[in-house]
Amino acid sequence: MKRHQRNYILGGAPLACFLGAALIGRFWTPFNPMRIDLRSKLQPPGAAHWLGTDEFGRDLLSRLMAAAGTSVSISLTTVFFALLAGLTLGVIAGYARGWTDRVVMSLNDALLAFPSMLLALALLSITGANMYGIILALGMAYTPSMVRVVRGSVLSLREREFIDASRIMGNSAAYTMLRHILPNCLGPVIVLATSMFGSVLLTESALSFLGLGVPPPAPTWGNMLASARPHIAEAMWLGIFPGLCISLSLLGINLFGDAIRDRFDPRMRGL
């Protein structure tokens, strides 16, 4: 079996579990993830509560499933935001060149001068820590790298003969960009979007962990870990399972991302 085929399977399995749990968690969870039951607080994993309960007696498995849904929606929307904004700005800057290019890229480079986690933190202080604020802040923090990649491939594409041909045929710039440039720069964009999905998931969890993500009592893996911290000595499972969920999902996304990269970028094959 080739390496990237193996990675598709190895990465696809945890990724499918993660997406499946998120999807099921939207419709059904074993218990109500928000229901407080102080009589059964801090119960270890057992027959009634498979993964135990937290300090308020809420079922851990139900909360993990609900949190998966939140993480997937935030990460997917954020990546979609970055994709849309990055493709638009990148294609326009790369195709138009000249002043448009210079203005877009210098703003872009200034944003790239901040570490993306920090940029997200800064933007969060403007947008506020709620679901939409987080998506907006993360989307804006991740757009610059997308713009760079798109512009890079557009710059090399626009010198190719088929673009000249499209122009000579009398097609408008907008039509040429949409019909000929856009589809041809999707390869690197898909590779970047996959790894971005993992990175957004990680940043979102980190923000939640810091208390700047989706506010409690709504569960996210990050805020579950943060609230587990004071109880970790007596209730290890509270600290172990949410982290395991994040790690396995990220592992799945990373392996899957490697497989996609191998496929779209033959130079990297076997590396």
What residue ranges bind other proteins (CB under 8 A)?
106-107, 109-111, 113-115, 117-118, 121-122, 124-126, 202, 205-206, 209-212, 222, 225, 228-229, 232-233, 236, 239-240, 242-243, 246-248, 250-251, 254-255, 258, 268, 270-271
Using the 8-state DSSP alphabet, how is residue 218 labeled? S
156 closest CA partner among 181, 139, 125, 128:
181
34/42 with CB nearer other proteins: 42
Helix (H), strand (E) at residue 107: helix 98-112
166/223 with CB nearer other proteins: 223
How far apart are CB 115 and other proteins at their closest, in Å?
Answer: 4
How far apart are CB 46 and other proteins at their closest, in Å?
Answer: 21
Cβ contacts of residue 150 below 8 Å, gap of 6+?
Answer: 86, 87, 89, 90, 91, 94, 185, 188, 189
How far apart are CB 3 and other proteins at their closest, in Å?
Answer: 8
How far apart are CB 246 and other proteins at their closest, in Å?
Answer: 5
Q: Which amino acid is at 270?
A: G
**Tokens read off for 65:** 């499933």
181/200 with CB nearer other proteins: 200
32/247 with CB nearer other proteins: 247
How far apart are CB 104 and other proteins at their closest, in Å?
Answer: 12
Cβ contacts of residue 224 below 8 Å, gap of 6+?
Answer: 54, 63, 64, 67, 238, 242
Say if CB 263 and CB 204 are below 8 A apart. Answer: no
SS3 label, residue 1: coil
40/195 with CB nearer other proteins: 195
